[in-house]
Amino acid sequence: MKKIPIKYKLLLLFSFSFIGMLILSERTFALSKENISNATMIFENSRSTQHLQENYIEPTNVLREMSLSLVMSPNEDYRKNIEIDIVKQRKRLEENFSKLDAQTYASWKAYANSVEKTCGYLGARFEEGAFVHVNSIEREHYYALLNRLKALQHDAVNQTEQNFSDIQTSARALKYELAILVLLLSTLVFVAGYLLSSHIVSSILKLQEGLKDFFGYLETKTIQPKPIELNSRDELEDMSKLLNRNIAKASATIAQDILFIEDAISVVNDLKLGKLSSRLHSKAQAPELQLLKDVVNTMIDNLESKINEEISKSTEQEKLLIQQSKLASMGEMIGNIAHQWRQPLGELSALLMNIQVKHDFNDLDDAYMLASIQQCMKINGYMSGTISDFQNFFKPSKEKEVFEISEACERSIAILQASLKYHGIEFSFDISEKMEVLGYPNEFAQALLNILSNAKDVLSEREISNPFIRLNLKKGYKYILIVIEDNGGGIAREQMERIFEPYFTTKYAKQGTGIGLYMTKMIIENNMGGIITVKNTEIGALFTIKLPSISEVAVEYEA
């Protein structure tokens, strides 16, 4: 036994256990399968009994009570209501009884016809006939139907008792069979396992005792661990020799390395607190720890300067992006103001020319002059309001707020409306219902304006026939979807992955800065916790913005 390798000892032990488990599992599965089948039959019988009670017996009793109440009703109004209920109840019972056997259905039809005849007597104002009929013929048919239903119920109960008896008989037979198998297999596995594992356990206990002494030394740093003495002539003896050598070597170096690790932990904790003045000074025995010491000290030396340098670069770059975005927005704003003012300026010119012509022909009266001045003031007010709208549009939101998403969309549309009309672009806005989100309304409107402006520019530059832009709002379970689609031909495949990168533009250098869609992505994803994606369709580009709904944001705040 001692000369057999452990892996073969364990293989032999596991083989006995595995075969025994297979046999027990097969019998257990057979017993479980049969029990499940029998229990299913009992359950189906119980359900059948319950089904008869709930869907046939109780509703039939209710119909009988309605019929009696109809005969005893004091006036026509009560009878009308009861007759309506009787018709509904008969309809439901007709549907249920049609699913049963022919004999039961015939009993139901006889009783249903009796109820109908009772109603017919009352309809003919023959109340005495209705009273006699309901207490004689209808009553006989009612009890006949009820007895038939009780017979069905009794059959279901008898079948349940028979199934339960069969289960008991089968379970007793399988129980004795399984008990014998368990006893035999358990005895066999126990004897084999005891013989095979006793030697292994004895060797493992000696190894455990030796390792316990070593770990005790690690804790106390006082008593040197004793060598492990093992003569098993197998892998465990080889392991004991290897452990003895490594324990002796580790005992000599562990104390020094522990001091180094404690020093390293102290330095790491200082770094977590932002203290960059700490350094590793302890000397480690292991070369890897010594290398770690040099790397950590060098890293700390360079960390502060690199952090300051990166912060400075990031700050400058962000300022530049924001400044360029503002300049680009101002350019767009001026262009859109020009489109908004073109028609009002033409109307002012026409009014002034009419005043001049009337003056030249001495036809300028006070009434016309006053009406023209009022019209000029109205046009001037519209132009002034346009400037106010643009100023409010580009004013950043200071704090997050709940706002109506369609209103923010309409503000962006209003900015571009005149420009879209000028370029002959059809625009449609479809919204299924009012939707609210939490975020920055002005920033969101700016982000949407960037996408719409890009679509307008593409349609104009490519001279698309019958150009259009469609904006749709949809409400999902967790998100609100904003979908912007155009028929501008789409985005080139090599440009699709870079479309949201800063300074990347498909326009000429004088026409675009490449930061519009980058700022849009920052607003949607960083500021409002949403997602923006783009893909090509058969006719153009499709942008999709997903913003968390108010209910989803509330759940996150509560969590």
pLDDT tens readout for residues 110-163: 888 888 888 888 777 777 887 888 888 888 888 888 888 888 878 877 877 777
Q: What are 402's strand-pairing partners?
A: 438
Q: Which residue has the tokens 């090509």?
A: 536
What b/e readout covers 529-541, taking b as 16+ CB neighbours within 10 angstroms? bbebebeeeeebb
Q: Lowest-confidence range among 304-308, 402-406, 541-545?
A: 304-308
Residue 558 pLDDT level (bands cut at 50, 70, 90): very low
Contact 548, 437 (CB under 8 A): yes
**In angstroms, rounded to a whole number, what is the distance separating the alpha carbons of residues 356 and 503?**
52
Residue 510: pLDDT above 80? no
Give the pTM: 0.38
Minimum mean pLDDT among 214-218, 266-270, 296-300, 318-322: which range? 318-322
Domain boundaries, the chain: 6-192, 397-558
**Assign residue 445 a region: left if phi > 0, alpha if psi is -120 to 50, beta otherwise?**
alpha
Among left, alpha and beta (phi > 0; psi -120 to 50; other), residue 469 is beta
Quote the CA–CA distance of 217 and 446 in Å, as a whole number. 69
Q: What is the pLDDT of residue 484?
A: 94
Which of helix, strand or coil describes residue 430? strand
Backbone angles phi, psi at 264, to 5 degrees: -65, -40
Separation CA 425–CA 419 (nearest Å): 9
**Mean pLDDT rounded to a whole number for the chain:** 75
Q: Supply 1's token pair.
A: 């036994």
Class of domain 6-192: mainly alpha
Q: Is the pLDDT of residue 449 over 60?
A: yes
**% of the chain with per-residue pLDDT over 90:** 7
**Environment class of residue 166 by beta-carbon count within 10 Å: exposed (0-12), middle (13-18) or buried (19+)?**
middle
- Homologous superfamily of the 397-558 domain (CATH): Histidine kinase-like ATPase, C-terminal domain (3.30.565.10)
Distance in angstroms (rounded) separating the CA atoms of residues 97 and 104 = 7
**For residue 469, what pLDDT band results from cuts at 50, 70 and 90?**
very high
Which has more confidence, 469 or 73? 469
Pick left, alpha or beta for residue 529 (phi over 0 → left; psi -120 to 50 → alpha; otherwise beta).
Answer: left
489 conformational bin, left if phi > 0, alpha if psi -120 to 50, beta if neither = left
Separation CA 344–CA 328 (nearest Å): 25
| 455 C-beta neighbours (distance < 10 Å), count | 27
Residue closest to 454 by CA, chosen among 498, 409, 420, 494:
420
Q: Whole-angstrom Cα distance, residue 328 to residue 400? A: 25
Give pLDDT, residue 511.
Answer: 45
Distance of CA 274 to the CA centre of its chain: 38
- Structure token pair of residue 512: 């675009």
Q: Which two tokens stand for residue 345?
A: 């300026």
CA distance 166 to 43: 14
| Range 405-431 average pLDDT | 85
Angle between helices 235-272 and 6-52 (to 10 degrees): 70
- The percentage of the chain sitting over the pLDDT mark of 70, rounded to a whole number, equals 66
Using CA atoms, how far residue 541 sits from 111, 388, 411, 431, 462, in Å, is 70, 32, 22, 20, 14
pLDDT class of 321 with cuts at 50, 70, 90 = low
pLDDT at 483: 94
Tell me the C-alpha distance between 358 and 246, whole Å.
114
Quick count: other Cβ atoms within 10 Å of Cβ 89?
Answer: 19
Asked if the domains at 6-192 and 397-558 fall in one CATH topology, the answer is no
The strand ranges marked E within 259-388 are: none
SS3 545: strand
Helices (H), 436-526: 441-461, 493-496, 516-521
Reading phi first (left if > 0) and then psi (alpha if -120 to 50, else beta), residue 35 is in: alpha
Report how far residue 9's alpha carbon sits from residue 235's, in angstroms, rounded to the nearest whole number: 12
Contact (CB, 8 A) for 127 and 75: no
**Rounded CA Rg of the chain:** 45
Measured CA to CA, the distance from residue 284 to residue 281 in angstroms comes to 10
* pLDDT tier, 338 (very low <50, low <70, confident <90, very high otherwise): low
Q: How confident is the model at residue 482 (pLDDT cuts 50, 70, 90)?
A: very high
Provide the pLDDT for residue 512: 46
